[in-house]
Structure 1
Amino acid sequence: MTLVDFGRMESGKIRISPRIGSPLGLVDGSEVFSSMFRYEAGDRGTFEIVLSPFGPENYREIAYVTIHVRDEPGALAQAAQFLKTRNIDILNSETVSSIPNVIMVWEMLVDLSFFGDSLTLKKEFDDAKHSRDAGLTMVDFLNVESSNLATRYTRGAAPGSDKVKTMALRKTEKKASTLAGGVFELPHAYVNFLGKDSGPVMFVAEPESWILSVVFLNDDSQLHKIKIDLPDRPGAIYEIMKTLGDLSINVLSGGTNVLVYYERMTCELVVDVRSSAVKGKAEIEKTLKERVAALGPQFSLTEVSSIAL
């Protein structure tokens, strides 16, 4: 699940909150590798810094592994033993009994640096199952997929786009930084590219791939969190987005959640009102409450709160 947060760069330093950093292994004392990109689309542009505890020497060996085991005592131990004997390090992982008493699914991010490659791992598992390996009697399936870590490090967030120009300013800093007090200190080269040492930032964390994207917002950004109740029907979200667009309110992040299927849902967004004529929490709340209510009896604005930058 993607995690989003907002903060500031001050004097070339960025504080990473535990909510964002901990799931990625970005904690005090950890080494942090980074790369930097410049994105341009028309007359607009911004910078991004990509952070990860994995450096250029091993990011190509990070992979996603999915294992299906019987829902029986000792099944997970068999799966873990198969990986252990091959010096495969389990990083982030999640297991759930998808069909109790029948099957469990174990999804994980692994480091293959001390083993080899994903194709070899898959072949060794298939060969072991074919030979009826006694150590895998409760393990039914293993799948390996490459992570996108290498792509994010070297090609940025919009590879292949013909609308967004991506410039890799520093493909990867070979020397790691060390987090101290939850703070990442930008290399001097990054600060020089930015042309400033302070400003608002947006954090987008991808725990599945251990990637933290730090995107630099406009200095005059004015962020608010809004929450709207709306009917669960086709077109309802469009009406909300059109209402915001008509007010020149830009959506930075958000999500929807069905409360009562085919009846009621909620939409929670973080928006930037810097380009809107509607300013200030009170005016935003008044204007949006009227505009949203005008969409119908099932539409209502339930929350507006300011986000300090």
Structure 2
Amino acid sequence: MSNPINIKKVAEMAGVSVASVSRTINGKGGVGEATRQKVLDTCRSLNYNPSITARKLSSGKDATVGILLSKNDSQLSPYVTLIYKQLLAQLKERGLVPEIVYEDKIRSLGDIASSCIVIGATKDDPRLPILDEMTIPFVAIGKQQQGWWVAPDEFMGIRQMTMELINRGKKRIAFVIAKDEEEVASNVRFQGYLSAVESVGLPEKAIVFEGKHFQGMHVCSHFYRHPEIFEQVDALVCNSDEIALGILEVLKHREIQIPNDIAVTGFDDLPLVSANLTTIRQNLDHIASNAMELLDKAKKQETPYGVVSPVEVVMRETS
């Protein structure tokens, strides 16, 4: 029986150390270009491909899909972490690897990836025309007027949530969102909220706070500095779970009954931390799988279209 191909065999055949092979196939530094190429050539000759990382190294940018974050995104944000996990699973099935790229490095995409998925794409997103100019096939996660996109049904989800609050007797409902370059009126979730309150003649109220990253912390600060808000509302429809959980943290220290005095709702249904929160659940697996299917079509230059992913209103203790 022949010996199985492993990292030691590759090192022996290439005439280099095991450490050099390990660092090469794991994409780490500290290996000279000549040694790196020798390892990759040996891996190919032995048909040894231990990981997706090695496939990326040997195939170059053709095996790499850029995951493009916006100025407002952080790799540490709960939503980015969750959608990235789902995308990673889809990419692995196709033998592809992700490369996270921030908006300010968008021009580097052409050197490292053959296609791209745009996270958190908004109306008139400045990243999209740049990608068009660079002729990089891409799919936007976020509803667009043209091109390839997939998005949760944010409008209907928030509208249904707001109507449920209205049906439960809430009449002073406000929408809470972090300040962004996009006008609040252009935000799809705000539009869903607005549609609901206008349909029954209730007043609209948008509470906008400063803080792009770690929004739970920033919304806490905002409500601590403006406690009068709690006297003006009986329900808070939040743009994300992170915001809703921040507000609930403030309410813990006040004599306010949830949800009798004030109901609080979120959007995302974050695992574990949102267990008691009324929220809207996205099907991230559905979004990720459709994003990859659309990306395959985009690469083939087929006629573009978008996919709306259904959402689910989840009523819990905070409403």
Do both proteins adopt the same fold according to a TM-score greater than 0.5, normalized to the shorter chain?
no
Structure number with higher relative contact order (C-alpha < 8 Å, ≥ 6 residues apart): 1
Which structure features the higher share of helix residues? 2
Query: So what's the TM-score if we normalise by structure 1?
Result: 0.28
